[in-house]
Structure 1
Amino acid sequence: MFRPLSIFIGSRYTRAKRRNHFISFISLTSMIGLALGVLAMIVVLSVMNGFQKEMSSRILGMVPHATIGNAQPLDDWRAVAEAAQRNPQVLAAAPFSELDGMLSYKGAMQSIQVNGIDPAEEDKVSIIGRHIVQGSLEGLKPDEFGVVLGEITARRFRLNVGDKLTLIVPEPSSVPGGITPRMQRLTVVAVFKVGAELDGNLALIHIADAGSIQRLQPGQVQSVRLALEDLYKAPQVSAAIAAQLGDGYRASDWTLTQGSLFSAMKMEKTMIGLLLLLIVAVAAFNIIATLIMVVADKGADIAILRTLGATPGQIMATFVVQGSIIGVIGTTVGAVLGVIAALNVSQLVGWLERISGQHIFSSDVYFISNLPSDLQGFDVLLICAAALGLSFLATLYPSWRAAQVQPAEALRYE
């Protein structure tokens, strides 16, 4: 089978010879370094993708994707919901109210965000129903002032279903200072656990009870909560719906309350990816060292090839091929092992926990009790492209040096 001269000689130089085992060993270490770098990048980025996906499903499954409200309370929230659902991005809508306050129990206090919800509609826009660990969401009934607390809050106050506590909310007043506290007795009807920070700063009450605390008229709500198909289009979709509804309507979305968290996670992923890319860069420098030693070792061979008619371009291509083979093999091995490891990292961590008898990710310490992994094809392609690109760039200088070898000088002492 016909092969170009550069590919034939370059592939032969890659294999071990009797007198250059050390050079072959350096080539092997370069391949191993590339493989380890690619493997580490794939596994780490997959774990970070899994963590981001897990946090997105938990946090953004609890907080509103978007809300539509008015300067005045909504008298007919269903009309607003129907208008919003005409947008193809809107999956569901439900009434929603929000207020901030303090919880008080036996002298202990903590700040809390209280959401008013309709238990009959909430499952359409939230994952809360799947994360109740005590009681039930149906325990929220109008005019009974029940409350659903997060697991961290319940544990902090040592509360169980049926216990009573006090909600303190600020209320505008005509007295000096302008604000007076209003207290409302609440009964714990359920406890949820989503495994995120919301377990310690969110509480749910019935929409009618929230309206009573806010001194709204019966049937009035503060806003309508929307569940969207594409979370990252929330600002555009909610703004378009508010504009369609007319003057006075305003939109809010999750990027205003949780956007900084996900921006930080995206930045962290980018920075860790760049740091791990340094491992690949070190392996690429090994390729440079390998090829420089090969050029020094093969000076006589290069001179003979030049006297037989090989052009400087062919000589340069020969060593580019040799370095590229190292890069391709190392990248391929690392990509295969990285994909296998990323797909099985959760099972591997579980196996280590069973063998050691220790919980690496204890639910008492971390918000997640396992190591999530989300392998994305684009990340794998990007990592492999970066590794191959660095490997190719590493071959250019040694190959150029080989092309500059003068036959007379190289053969002078042979």
Structure 2
Amino acid sequence: MFNAFERAVAFRYLRARKGERFISVTAIFSLLGIMLGVATLIVVTSVMNGFRQDLMTRIIGLNGHLIVQPERGRALEGYEAIAARIAGLSGVAQVAPVVDGQVLLSSQAGGAGAAQLRGLPPEVLRARPVLDRGIRLGSLEEFGADPDSVVIGGRLAQRLRLQPGDTVTLTLPQARGGDFSAAPRQRALRVVATFDVGMPEVDSRTIFVPLATAQSLFALGDAVSEVEVMVTDPAHVAPVTSEIRAALAGQPLRVADWQRTNSSIYAAMLVERNVMFLILTLIVLVAAFNIVSSLTMLVKDKGRDIAILRTMGAKRGAVLRIFLLCGATIGCGGTLLGFALGLGIATNFDALRRGLLWLESTGLFGAELRFLIGLPSVVDPQEVGIILALGLGLSLLATLWPSWRAARIDPAEALRHG
């Protein structure tokens, strides 16, 4: 596309000579601007991906990616057949029965409070990585060995002044059936572990008991409240949801995935992600305008040289390609350097935490930096490809108008006024 003559002239124009330092410095700043814009876009989107993944892991890590509930009533009969049918579908990683309900807790130390009780098979609870990593005191190994064992949120345990080994009294205040004179059902449970998953609304009100214990407490017999389904790829849960609905068609069941049950949080994250991408794209756009200005100044400064080239036989197309190559060298070079810098930071974000911790220890930054230090970085190849294409595209578009102006210069006028 560019012959040797055009490349030689273009690279000669990019090298500063005496009296042309300002244009060269402007070109360098244009290159640095688009480099930093692309790098920032890659780093911020990667950190936001990590934040979204961390948040969704916390939200859906303790609950299923999908839930199957009865349309009417609170008891799901014959859940074994439903679980077996769902387990045979593609994309399903785990199927677990769950009993869910509200209870009151009281401790011997005098604390009391409401809690959300969740009954799960012990092996299912131990297989939840979020909870396993969040254990602060005690161990999950004892959960289920004793039917009266309970795992309790750390904030709730602190409020009730409970430690592993303590006894907590669980009360169901609602009487079953029509006998309102019946005494509330109570049961003493032994705390085997406390957890902290980093979500206050979970840590301050959630307890886990074995499934059989929960069924006995709520007088459900062999029924459960719902069936939770874990999928292999939570980000693409919609196709699995459709398959489960098709497999359970005709039964009075309701199937909802985590995107629907957490629709407000999911929608807010999507809006924030798109707005942030747009704002950072404007940074790259501003850097592209710097290329326009620096290339326009270069064309104006080289007007006499362009006229001489034209009188020596250079065609307008050759002049156009010379300045296209000048602009593309600045823009595409900056984009590729920004791509390498941003990808290097995003993929080695964990290694940079030591430096960030040092900055945080200086006291120059507040808790915001401490929060950022703890965020993971997840590089999405598709997003990085879009950013790279965006930077290259804007860089090339920025060179078109100045290059066209250079090709339209009239040699006679340029030499007369040069």
TM-score w.r.t. the length of structure 1 is 0.86
Give 3-state SS (helix, strand or coil) of 1:73's partner.
coil
1:296-335 CA deviation, whole Å, 9 max, x = no partner?
1111111122222333333222212111110111111111
| C-alpha distance 129-362 of structure 1, shift in aligned 2 (>3 A) | farther
**Is 2:379 the counterpart of 1:375?**
yes
Is 1:132–2:135 an aligned residue pair? yes
* Aligned: 1:323 with 2:330: no
Distance (Å, rounded) in 2 between the aligned partners of 1:73 and 1:52: 34
What are the residue-to-residue correspondences of 1:4-403 with 2, within 5 Å? 5-70=5-70, 73-101=75-103, 103=105, 112-124=115-127, 127-141=130-144, 144-165=147-168, 167=170, 171=174, 185-197=188-200, 198-217=202-221, 219-245=222-248, 246-354=250-358, 357=361, 370-403=374-407
**Deviations 1:313-366, CA, capped at 9 Å, x for gaps:** 332222121111101111111111112211222222223425764799999x98
SS of the residue corresponding to residue 207 of structure 2 reads strand
Structure 2 residue ranges without an equivalent (≥5): none
Counterpart code for 2:10: G
Cα displacement (A) at 1:183: 6.1
1:194 and 1:8 mapped to 2: Cα distance?
61
For 1:78, give the aligned amino acid.
E
Once the 2 structures are TM-superposed, how far is the Cα of residue 232 of structure 1 from its aligned partner?
Answer: 3.5
Give the CA deviation at 1:165.
Answer: 4.2
Note if contact 1:55-1:196 (Cα within 8 Å) is conserved in structure 2.
no
Alignment CA distance shift 1:118-1:371 (3 Å): same
1:150 deviates by 1.8
For 2:3 and 2:92, locate their aligned partners in 1 and report how far apart those are by CA, in whole Å.
59
Separation (CA, whole Å) in 2 of partners of 1:368 and 1:152: 24
Could you tell which deviates more after superposition, 163-172 or 45-54?
Answer: 163-172
Q: CA deviation at 1:119?
A: 0.5
Q: Between Structure 1 and Structure 2, how many residues are aligned?
A: 409
Deviations 1:240-297 (A, max 9, x none): 3344244223323222333432332232222222212222222212111111111111
* 1:344/1:272 CA distance change after superposition, 3 Å: same
**Cα distance, 1:316–1:156 mapped onto 2, change above 3 Å:** farther
Which amino acid in 2 is paired with 1:80? I
* Distance change >3 Å, CA 270–CA 168, structure 1 → 2: farther
Q: Aligned to 1:92, what secondary structure does the other structure show?
A: strand
- Partner AA of 1:39 in structure 2: A
Task: Tell me if the contact between 1:103 and 1:165 (Cα under 8 Å) persists in the aligned partners.
Answer: yes
How far did residue 182 of structure 1 move? 6.5
Q: State the Cα distance separating 1:5 from its structure 2 match.
A: 4.2
2:229 aligned partner, one-letter code: L
- Seen in structure 2, the aligned counterparts of structure 1 residues 5 and 155 have a Cα distance that, compared at 3 Å, is farther
Taking only the aligned residue pairs, the percentage that are identical comes to 38
CA distance in 2, matches of 1:208, 1:362: 48
Contact 1:324 1:392 in 2 (8 A): yes
Alignment partners' CA distance in 2, 1:77 and 1:194 = 29
Aligned-partner residue type, residue 265 of structure 1: M
Tell me how far apart the structure 2 counterparts of residues 49 and 258 of structure 1 sit (CA, whole Å). Answer: 18
Gaps in structure 1 of 5+ consecutive residues:
none
Q: Which amino acid aligns with 1:120?
A: E
Alignment partners' CA distance in 1, 2:185 and 2:411: 95
CA RMSD of aligned residues (A): 3.4
User: What is the rounded CA distance, in whole Å, between the counterparts of 1:407 and 1:111 in structure 2?
Assistant: 86
Deviation at 1:27, TM superposition (A): 0.4
